[in-house]
Amino acid sequence: MELTKIFQGETYWVWTGGYAQFTPKASKSPASSKQMADDGLLSVHAVKVPSQLISTANIHSKPISSLPNSSIKTRLLNLKRQTTYLIAEGTFNKTIATDFEKLDPSKFTKLKNMVSSTVVPYNWRSTLHDTTKSLVLGRPTEALANKTLVVDALPCHLCSKNIKPDKVRSHVGEHILFSILGVTELGLKQTLGDLESICGYCRLNVGCKTTILKESNSKTELISRCPHSHKFSFAHAMKPTQTQPSTNVPITCKLCDRDDATGSQPTYWKYSLFAHIKQTHHRNHWNSTQNLPQNLPPYLLERLTVMEEELSWVRARKRLAAAGQSINPVANLPFGPHNHLSTHGTKRGIDTLRSVSSLLSQRQRK
């Protein structure tokens, strides 16, 4: 990040396109945390941060083309970046003053697996008195010196509830599902953004791309840039339960064209795929009368199924406005083989229904 006056004389912290580098204890050469955007693979040094050291910030995403001419823009263009992120200096300073500098030192814990780095605030011995190197928080970083980390929970950006790290996908999915249904939840700090591109781990729209790398009947391999991502079983995630009712998982859109470079089709989160089909494939694959998808191949029909049981369990876990009344829903759920329409002939519709019903039955028996 670099502090600069980039818009109308206002000062912002702007991401300059670089990635943090760490020197692991067993190595003398730096290991970059750079995310390889061209092939979707990551080379990451993971540092876990406890929930009390996390604070949401009003960070803006900006395309490089919208930036005024400056050394930062030139640097980003040379690095072939498409987007950068920035936060107003006043907003950043206020966040530090209210969320960190006033915290009791006992609340700070040492970051596990944090090793030598010249650009990360924890390396306070070399950067404490030189804030041009990184966004250093003086007193808090010094308080971390001899403490240990207890990873307890992650705060939900929407409802502020602390969620166990391996339950984040299911919890965030419940919030997204209600937005798809057009139902207002009580007590939320923020509203959801673009439902088509929203992240299923953190609900943000800031480049948390999740991609399916390999898919078969028995296993799905994916990779995600979201810091809240976690491992989960697809087979279990597709079966709603009372404690984890959300079936929001990444799905390949079989209706989209394949990418010329990678030969793959794009990945969307399940609930977001309803918004995607409605916005992008509405001509052939959206029934405006039912407000539901139509003419779907068996793969999508199986994975997009949302049963009434799932909706009931999610509703029971949330505080809803107007008794859960829907206003301008993206889709009139539930959805599945029972109300999927095919305009390509009766026989094809029956064959599709039988195929999906068989797949669902097989999953239930596993």
At 73 the pLDDT is 84
pLDDT confidence tier of residue 346, bands split at 50, 70 and 90: very low
Q: Are strands 162-163 and 154-155 parallel, antiparallel or unpaired?
A: antiparallel
The 10s digit of each residue's pLDDT in 193-212 is: 789 989 999 887 666 789 99
pLDDT at residue 79 is higher than 50: yes
At 334 the pLDDT is 94
Q: For 175, phi and psi rounded to 5 degrees? A: -65, -45
Q: Which residues pair with 292 in a beta bridge?
A: 287
Calpha distance 312→358 (Å, rounded):
24
> Helices (H) and strands (E) in the chain — how many of each?
11, 16
Calpha distance 266→208 (Å, rounded):
14
Q: Are 169 and 232 in contact (CB under 8 A)?
A: yes
pLDDT at residue 333 is higher than 90: yes
Calpha distance 278→271 (Å, rounded):
12
pLDDT at residue 83 is higher than 80: yes
Q: Say what percent of the chain tops pLDDT 70.
A: 62
Token pair recorded at residue 117: 């780095």
At 227 the pLDDT is 77
pLDDT confidence tier of residue 74, bands split at 50, 70 and 90: confident
At 217 the pLDDT is 75
Calpha distance 3→12 (Å, rounded):
6
Top-confidence range, 61-70, 271-280, 320-329: 271-280
Q: Residue 345 — left, alpha, or beta (φ > 0 → left; ψ -120 to 50 → alpha)?
A: left
Token pair recorded at residue 326: 């829907």
At 108 the pLDDT is 57
At 56 the pLDDT is 64
Token pair recorded at residue 111: 């970051």
Helix (H, G, I), strand (E, B) or coil at 256: coil
The 10s digit of each residue's pLDDT in 264-301 is: 999 999 999 999 999 999 999 999 999 999 999 999 99
